[in-house]
Copies of this chain bind each other. A is one copy, B any other.
């Protein structure tokens, strides 16, 4: 239940305010060069405390690799990693110890388990997503070996929607905006929410490219571990995500078949309404996924709620929070797409008998 993937498997542990969080990555093929600097860079992209569009909580987020790598190379043994939690202010949470914050998992965890680590959201905190990024970095290294690249950014903040999409530009944007012409308005909206002690929703757009060069077309495992199903599960399983869309998605549900089918000629597909996935398998076109984030549930306005004794109380939060979780969430989504594709890449081995003949010749 705390494990993600089938052949490239990531199991995680850890709470927001525990001593450390960590994970085990099982299934990394032996012989992969593990670039620790790249892992740090990826984790840094997700990190808060860098500007006013994210949480002021500044973590060092140092990833320690405890196993599975020898002489800089993966050995085939599981890779164990931990990240210490060193900027925790548990006192911030004393006042919410016995109340259910609206929009949070407090209510559901309490009822499911009867016990709750209330400090910083405990297990349900987005803190755990550091591990998705760290393991996603290793997935990216694996994908790079066959030429697949994942990238992403912010498509919209509130109702400020990108008109152009530039994945290079997003890399330098403080909010990972994909449209340099919309970035300012998007920032302004986040700031407005922040100053009103409120928060705002947003949409990330994630892309994978390079699926038609070395990779055979057809990543994904029909019928119950299809590529789009696995992507949807990964994205929807991330905190705050309320909708996932592949390719044209919403628009596909509004149009005629003649407008939605991607025809083919000898130059390849003539359009990409499908977002790179047909029948649950990659078709060689770029993969496009949109991920819809709700606004951060932690807002600093009075809200009606109950306490654990069933009394009506007013919830007034303190603490440090992102005004818009979509921003840092977009980095995690990119990692998740890499994790899904790495899993599918390994699962695809053995799909044809000729793979066995090629390897075991």
Contacts and interface: CB of A to CB of B under 8 A. Distances in A.
Given A14-B67, A261-B103, A306-B264, A24 B7 contact: no
B222 A123 contact: yes
B198 A279 contact: no
Contact of A243 (B109, B245, B264): B245
A195 B118 CA distance: 57
Contact of A123 (B223, B235, B278): B223
Contacts of A76: 109, 112-113, 115, 123, 351-352
Interface string A239-283: 101111111111011111111111111100010001100111111
In the complex this chain forms, how many copies of it are found? Answer: 4
A361 B145 CA distance: 10
A19 B347 CA distance: 29
A200 B257 CA distance: 6
A166 interface: no
Nearest to A239: B279
Given A266-B306, A279-B105, A279-B109, A257 B12 contact: no
Interface stretch (A35-43, A50-58, A296-304): A296-304
A226 interface: yes
B359 A349 contact: yes
Interface range, A side: 35 or more
Given A103-B278, A236-B244, A354-B114, A18 B67 contact: yes
A287 interface: no
Nearest to A321: B257
A103 B274 contact: yes
Contact of A75 (B116, B247, B265, B305): B116
B351 A355 contact: no
Interface string A65-100: 011101101111111101000000000000000001
